[in-house]
Amino acid sequence: MKKRRKYFIIPIIILLVFFVCDNIFGGVTIPVKKIFLALFSGPDTALPQTEHSFIKDIICNFRLPKATTALLAGVGLSLCGIQMQTLFRNPLADPYILGVSASSGLGVAIFVMGGSALGINLNSAAFQTFGIAGAAMAGAILLLLLILALSERLKDNLSLLIFGVMISSIASALINLLQYASSESALKMYVVWTLGSFSGLKSGQLLILTLLSVAGIALSVYNIKDLNAIMLGEQYANAAGINTKRIKVRIIVATTLLAGGITAFCGPIGFIGIAVPHIARLIYKDADHRVLVPASAILGGGMMLIADTLSQLPGSGSVIPINTMAALLGIPVIFAIIIKNRA
C-alpha cells in the first residue's frame, strides 16, 4: 500500500487541474488569474467593478457548484461500481444494477407526467427546485426498503441480481406507459432529466447531495475490509465466520445513498460507474480494496470532471449532454473488458 501511494499523486493532480478547467471553460472562457482576483480581491482593486461582479456571479452561482456536483457524482458512482462488481463478482455490474436508476426514473415519471395530467404548473419554482429530485429520491428509497425487506428471503446474490433486473423491467414498462399518455411538455421535461446535467443546482440542493454523498462515501470506506472478505465468494466468507448478510445490507445502503442521490439531482448517468473500477485495477494492478476504493474515487472524480469540461465544448457556446460524453469515455473501456473476458 505504501509503495503505491505515489501512484495516487498524478490522478489527484489531474483531478485538481480539471476541477479548475471546469470553472474556466463554458460559454465564456475566464482566465484563472481573473477568477482568482474576482474571488479573493475586492471590486475596483484589480478588476473593474462590473467585470468583478460578472465573473464572481458566474463562478460562485454556476460553475463552482457545477464542478462540485460533477466531482461528487464521479466519486459516488465509481464507489458504487466497485462495490457492486465485488458483491456480484460481475465485471459489468454498475451502480444501477439493483434498479436504482429505474425506480428513480419511475418516481420522476409519475411526478412529472402525473403532475401534468393533474394540471400542476411544471414551471413553478418549488416544482423545479425539489420536486423532480424528491420524486427520484423517493423511488430510490422505496426500492431500498423493498430490498431490505426481502433480503432475508433472497438466499444468494444471484436472486438479488434477478430481483434488480425484474424491478428495472417493470419500472421501464410503467415509464413507457406514462410516456405514451403524457403531454408534450411533461415528456420533454422527463427526457431532459434522463440526459443528465450538473447545472442548475441551488445551494439547498447541493447541500442535500453533499450530505448524501458524504454519508455514502463514509459507509463505502467502512465497507473496505468487508469487500476484501467477500471477494472470494459468499460461501468462502460464510465458512470463515463472516456475516455476509450484514455486509450485503451495508453495501446496498451505501450504493443506494450514492446512486440514489446522484440520480435524483443529476439524472441517471451511465458508464462511469462500470469503467472506472476497471481503470483502477489496470493502473494499480491490485485486488486489495484498500487500494481500489480510494483509487476508484479519485479516478472517478477526475474522469467525470474531464467529461463535464469536454461537454462544454469550450469556446463554442454549445453543450453536449453529460450522459453522451460519459458514454464516449466509458464505452471503449467496457468493450475492452468484454474482449478481454472472451479471449
Residue 229: pLDDT band by 50, 70, 90 thresholds? Answer: confident
Nearest to 94 by CA among 76, 68, 67: 76
Instruction: Tell whether the model's pLDDT for residue 78 goes beyond 90.
Output: yes
pTM (2 d.p.) = 0.92
Q: pLDDT tens digits, residue range 107-130? A: 999 988 877 666 666 666 666 667
| Cβ–Cβ under 8 Å, residues 112 and 189 | yes
Instruction: Tell whether the model's pLDDT for residue 338 goes beyond 90.
Output: no
Render 311-330 in DSSP notation, one character per residue. Answer: HT-TTTS----HHHHHHHHH
CATH of the domain at 330: 1.10.3470.10
What is residue 83's three-state secondary structure?
Answer: helix
Q: What is the pLDDT of residue 315?
A: 64
Sort 8 into a burial class: Cβ within 10 Å, 0-12 / 13-18 / 19+: middle
CA distance 338 to 335: 5
Q: Measure Cα distances from 17 to 140, 153, 210, 336, 338 in Å.
A: 33, 48, 21, 27, 31
What is residue 173's three-state secondary structure?
Answer: helix
% pLDDT > 90, the chain: 50
| Cβ–Cβ under 8 Å, residues 167 and 98 | yes
Which set of grid coordinates corresponds to residue 258?
450514492
Instruction: Tell whether the model's pLDDT for residue 1 goes beyond 60.
Output: no
Q: What is the pLDDT of residue 318?
A: 76
User: Please, what's the largest Cα pairwise distance for the chain?
Assistant: 70
CA distance 259 to 196: 13
Render 74-134 in DSSP notation, one character per residue. Answer: HHHHHHHHHHHHHHHT-TT--TTTTSHHHHHHHHHHHHHHHHHHTT--TTSHHIIIIIHHH
Number of structural domains (the chain) is: 1
Best-predicted range by mean pLDDT (53-67, 104-118, 236-250): 53-67
CA distance 331 to 334: 5
More confidently predicted of 10 and 314: 10
Number of other residues whose CB lies within 10 A of the CB of residue 337: 16
Q: What is the pLDDT of residue 239?
A: 77
Which set of grid coordinates corresponds to residue 16?
485538481
Distance of CA 219 to the CA centre of its chain: 16
272-284 and 289-311 helices, crossing angle to 10°: 130
CA distance 234 to 244: 7
Q: What is the pLDDT of residue 118?
A: 62
Instruction: Tell whether the model's pLDDT for residue 103 goes beyond 70.
Output: yes
Q: Which domain range does residue 291 map to?
A: 5-342
Distance of CA 303 to the CA centre of its chain: 12
Q: pLDDT tens digits, residue range 155-198? A: 778 888 888 889 999 999 999 999 888 888 888 888 988 999 99
Best-predicted range by mean pLDDT (2-6, 70-74, 167-171): 70-74
Q: What is the pLDDT of residue 128?
A: 62
Residue 317 sits at φ, ψ, to 5 deg, of 80, 0
